[in-house]
Structure 1
Amino acid sequence: MEFFDCISLAKAQTLINNVLPECTTAVEETELIEALGRIVAEDIAAADHLPPFNRSTVDGYAVLSRDTFSAGEGAPVMLDIIGEVFMGQSADYTIVSGQAVIVPTGGMLPAGADGVVMLEHAEQSDQETLLVAKPIAPGENMVAKGEDIKPGTVFVAAGTRLTAAEIGALAACGIARVKVRRRLTVGIISTGDEVVDVIAVPENGQVRDINSYTLAAMLTAADCQVTRYGITKDNYADLLAAIGKAAGENQLVLVSGGSSVGARDHTVQVIEELGRNKVIFHGLAVRPGKPTIFGLIDHVPVFGLPGHPVAAMTICQMVVMPLVSRLQGSGSCKAGWRIPARLTRNCASAPGRDDFLRVKLIWQAGEYRAEPVLGKSGLISVMTQADGVVHVPADSSGLYAGDVVLVEVMREA
C-alpha cells in the first residue's frame, strides 16, 4: 500500500466501519446513583404503572367533571364536601354526583373522581359546602394511573446515554441498578522531540503537551476510561514500545503527532510492524487533519492524529468520536448536537476535500449567527474562541455569507 494517499472522509468512515464490530465493550451492573453518563446495555421496561394511582396536579377539589359543566362566576355549582385526602395516604372515598373531596398537589384521587377543581376557582361557604365558579373538562388537573408509563413499556432503550432525566425515570420505576456498557478503555500517546510536559518551562523550539490533555478531556466526557502514556520522543524503538504497551492495555489508541511523512514520523511503520501490515489508510482529503492514520493492532483500532492541536481535536470530534459511540454500543455514527445558524462571511473551499470550519455562535436578531474563527491549525486561540464546527462537504466549492448552515456544537454557546 502506498501511504499518505489521501482518501475521502466518506471512504474512510466506510473502511473504519467495515473492519470493526458494532460494539466491543462488555456489560456490567452499576448503582443508579453512579449511572449518569453511562450507556444502557439493554432495553429497560416498566414493571408497574407510573403513576401508580390517579393523582392531582394542583391543590383543589376532586369532583365528577360533569357536575361542573354549568358552573360560572354568576351561577356557581354547589357540591357537598365529604372529606379530605392527605399526602402519602390512600383516598378511602368513593364520590358520586354532587360530591367533592379536598386533595393536595400529588395527592391520590378518590374513586369516581375524573378531574380536580383548582382552589382559586372554588370557594367553601362552610366546612361542608363547595361553590365551583369554573367548569373543568374530564381529566383536567390530574394524571391518570399509568398515564406516564404503562407496565411493559420500554422507556429507556439500549444504547441510551443516561442523563438526569432517565435517572429520574428509572428511580420513579423503582430500578436501583442498571446494566450498562463498561467504559471504553483508551490510551493516548503524545510524540515529538519538541514536546515537553505542561509543568516544564519550554526552551527555544519546545512546546508544551496540549493534545494528550484535550484528547483525554474529550474522551472522558464521552464516558471513556482514559490512560495517558506520556510523551514519546521521535525515536522508532521508543514509539514501538509505547504503542505496543498502549494497544495491549486498551480498546482504542490515539497517537498525537508523528503522522506526517517526515524522516522522524514513525507511526505508520510502527503500526505496520505491530499490526502485521494493518494500516487501513494514511491521509484524509480533509482540512484540518490531512495526515491522519488509521490501523489495527490485534483488532485494537489505532489512530495517528496530526500534531497541531486544532487538527487533532477536529479529527477526534469528526472521525474518532463516531467510532467511540459505535464501540460503546450507542450507534455507529451519531452526530453531535447540531443547530442552524446563518454564516456571517464567505468561506472558500477546495472541491474534493471536506473542510471543517470552526465558528463562534452569536445570538442576533432572533437567530444564531455563525462567525468563522480564522486561524491556522496550530493556534490555541482557534480552539478557545470557537463554539462549534461547520462541515463543508467535498462536493462544495465553499459557503456564502447568509447561508444557513448546521453547526455541530462543541460546547454551550
Structure 2
Amino acid sequence: MDFFKVVSVGEGKDMIWENFKDYEFETEEVNILASINRVLAEDIISDIDVPDFNRSTVDGYAIKSSDSYGATDSIPTILNIVGEIKMGEEAKLTIRSGQAAYIPTGGMLPEGADGVIMIENSEKMDENTLLIYKPIVQGENIIFKGDDIKKGSLALKKGRKITPELMGVMAALGISKIKVFKKPRFYIISTGDEIIDMDQELTIGKIRDINSYALYGLIINLGGEVVGKAIIKDDYNLLRNEVDKALDLSDIVIISGGSSVGARDYTHKVIDSFNGRGVFVHGVSIKPGKPTLIGEGKGKLIFGLPGHPVSSIIVFKTFIENYIYKKLNMDYIMPRVNAVMDFNFPSSPGKVTYQMVKLNEIDGQYHAEPSFGKSGMISLLSQSQGYIIIEAHEEGVYKGETREVFLL
C-alpha cells in the first residue's frame, strides 16, 4: 500500500475532475416557491421584455423634453395638462408639443412623450395649467421597454443558486416552474472503535462523533442532502458492507477517520475492493489534511477524510465543495474579508497551509490573529471565524501584511 505519496491541492482537484467530470447529477422540475437554494439546471431565456412598456420611474408629468428647454425658476415653461395616466392601465393619450399628462411611478408612458418632469420641479397652477421650473433631457425619469431584460436574452444562467431575489426575477418573467439539479446525495460514515454517537454515554476511552455533524451542516449549506449516516467500528467487513450500501444510495460517500497509517486502517482496502479505479489519491500536501484518501467505487466518488475535525472541514471545503460547484456550473464566491495580520507565522515549505484565525474589527479594519491548537481540538472551531491560505511556495505570514480571510 502506497501511503502518503502526496499530490498537491491542484493535482488532487484535477484528478477528481478527470475521473468524475462525466458524472451526471439528475434534474427535476420544481415550483419556484420550492426553489430556494436549489441550482438551475438550464439557462432561462426571457420570452418577454421587462418591462414590456415604457414607464415612469417617478411621480410627475409626461412631456416632450424639448418643451422644457430653457425653463428656470424665474422663467418657467407653461404647458397644458391634457389628462392623467392611471396606474395599471394602458395610456391612450398622445402627448403633443405644449402638452403634459400626470403620470405616477410605474405608469405607462403615453405616446409622444419622451421624458417625465418630477412633481418637485413643477407646479400645477389649475386643472389645465402646469409650470415647469427645470429642463429635462430625452429619456429622463423613464425606464424603456426591455431596459431591464430584453426578450430573447439570457435572464438566468445555468448553475445559479436560487435566492429570494432570483425568485422575484422569475416571477417577473411569468415562470412558475424551473428545472433544477437534484440535491447531491451524501452518505457519511464515521469509523473507529472509540467513536460513539452524541446521545450515548461518554465513558473512558470513547469520544463523541463530531465530524459527521459538522459535515452534515456543510453538506446542507452546499445544497446537498444526507441520505445516510453511520458509525462503524474498525472492522473490514462491517465497513465494506456499509460502504457498499452507501454507494447504492448516494452520489458521494464520505468516510471520516481511518485514513492514517495504522494496523487497523481498512479504508484504503475497502475502497479498492469495489470494481473500479479504487484509491487514486492517498495523501495531499495540505496542512491540516495530509492523510486524505480520494477514490472511486461503483462509479461513485469516495472520500476518506482525516479524523480530526478541523482537517475534515478543510478537506471538505477544498475538494468536495470545489467539485460540486464546478460540476453544477455554479458561480460561487467564497465569503471573505481582507484583514491585517497581527502575527508572524512560518509555514511548512512545499505544503499548502490552512491557518485558522480569529477576527477583530479595529477602526473599521479587520485584524486577524491565529487560533492555535492541534487539528483535533474542537475549540479551534468555536474560537475561529475563518482561515487564511498560505501557499506552498510561501515561507509564511508576516505581521502587518493584508491577507484574505475565508469565512467559516
**Scaled by the length of structure 1, what TM-score is found?**
0.94
CA displacement, residues 331-364 of structure 1 (integer Å, 9 cap, x when unaligned): 7xx6523433222211110111110112233333
Shift of 1:6: 2.1
Matches of 1:358 and 1:23 in 2, distance apart? 33
What's the secondary structure of 1:274's corresponding residue? coil
Matches of 2:218 and 2:312 in 1, distance apart? 11
Matches of 2:333 and 2:264 in 1, distance apart? 35
Which amino acid in the other structure matches residue 241 of structure 2?
A
Q: Which residue of 2 aligns with 1:372?
A: 370
Q: Which residue of 2 aligns with 1:248?
A: 248
Q: Assess, with a 3 A threshold, how the Cα gap between structure 1 residues 275 and 340 changes in structure 2: closer, same or farther.
A: farther
Matches of 1:368 and 1:17 in 2, distance apart? 36
Contact 2:227 2:249 in 1 (8 A): no
Contact 2:86 2:104 in 1 (8 A): yes
Q: Assess, with a 3 A threshold, how the Cα gap between structure 1 residues 385 and 135 changes in structure 2: closer, same or farther.
A: farther
Contact 1:294 1:301 in 2 (8 A): yes
Q: Which residue of 1 aligns with 2:176?
A: 176
What's the secondary structure of 1:408's corresponding residue? strand
Shift of 1:407: 2.2
Q: Which runs of 4+ in 1 moved over 6 A?
A: none
Q: Assess, with a 3 A threshold, how the Cα gap between structure 1 residues 399 and 223 changes in structure 2: closer, same or farther.
A: same
Q: Which residue of 1 aligns with 2:306?
A: 306
Contact 2:195 2:208 in 1 (8 A): yes
**Scaled by the length of structure 2, what TM-score is found?**
0.96
Uncovered stretches (5+) of structure 1, i.e. residues with no partner: none
What's the secondary structure of 2:158's corresponding residue? coil
Q: Assess, with a 3 A threshold, how the Cα gap between structure 1 residues 277 and 47 changes in structure 2: closer, same or farther.
A: closer
Matched, 1:40 2:51: no
CA displacement, residues 162-204 of structure 1 (integer Å, 9 cap, x when unaligned): 2222221111111111111111111111112222111223112
Question: CA RMSD of the aligned region, Å?
Answer: 1.7
Equivalent residues in 2 for 1:26-65 (5 A)?
26-65=26-65
Matches of 1:355 and 1:146 in 2, distance apart? 49
Shift of 1:88: 0.8
Equivalent residues in 2 for 1:214-253 (5 A)?
214-253=214-253
Q: Which residue of 1 aligns with 2:185?
A: 185
Q: Assess, with a 3 A threshold, how the Cα gap between structure 1 residues 50 and 23 changes in structure 2: closer, same or farther.
A: farther
Uncovered stretches (5+) of structure 2, i.e. residues with no partner: none
Shift of 1:103: 1.0
Matches of 2:275 and 2:406 in 1, distance apart? 34
What's the secondary structure of 1:358's corresponding residue? strand
Shift of 1:265: 2.2
Matched, 1:204 2:208: no
Q: Assess, with a 3 A threshold, how the Cα gap between structure 1 residues 271 and 335 changes in structure 2: closer, same or farther.
A: farther
Shift of 1:124: 0.7
Contact 1:65 1:136 in 2 (8 A): yes
Equivalent residues in 2 for 1:232-381 (5 A)?
232-275=232-275, 278-330=278-330, 336-381=334-379
Q: Which residue of 1 aligns with 2:3?
A: 3
Matches of 1:136 and 1:381 in 2, distance apart? 63
Counting matched residue pairs gives 408
Q: Which residue of 1 aligns with 2:390?
A: 392
**Once the two structures are aligned, what percentage of the paired residues are identical?**
40
Which amino acid in the other structure matches residue 342 of structure 1?
V
Equivalent residues in 2 for 1:28-107 (5 A)?
28-107=28-107
Contact 1:183 1:328 in 2 (8 A): no
Matches of 1:354 and 1:165 in 2, distance apart? 37
Contact 1:338 1:409 in 2 (8 A): yes
Q: Assess, with a 3 A threshold, how the Cα gap between structure 1 residues 22 and 129 changes in structure 2: closer, same or farther.
A: farther
